[in-house]
């Protein structure tokens, strides 16, 4: 393959790669839990600790989505 052929194919290959990566990301990471808007608050961290505040934040957002 000559260099000018590779230069012509580059945009097409980028487009294909972008599409394939987005398909992969949706397949592998699309159904992850989302955090509640605003995140863990200082009051939550003081009352139950940083780790538990994070867990409660995850649970509250998943309950609101019907799970």
Domain ranges across the chain: 1-32, 34-67
Place of tokens 């799970």: 67
Between residues 30 and 64, the one the model is more confident about:
30
CA distances (Å), origin 58, targets 14, 25, 39, 65? 36, 21, 9, 11
Sign of the Cα torsion 6, 7, 11, 14 reads positive
For 12-46, write each residue's pLDDT tens digit. Answer: 999 999 999 989 888 887 766 666 667 778 888 89
């Amino acid at each position: 393959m000559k260099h000018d052929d590779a230069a012509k194919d580059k945009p097409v290959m980028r487009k294909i790669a972008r599409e394939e990566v987005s398909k992969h990301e949706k397949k592998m990471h699309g159904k992850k839990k989302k955090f509640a808007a605003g995140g863990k608050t200082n009051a939550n961290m003081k009352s139950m600790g940083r780790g538990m505040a994070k867990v409660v934040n995850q649970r509250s957002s998943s309950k609101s989505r019907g799970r």
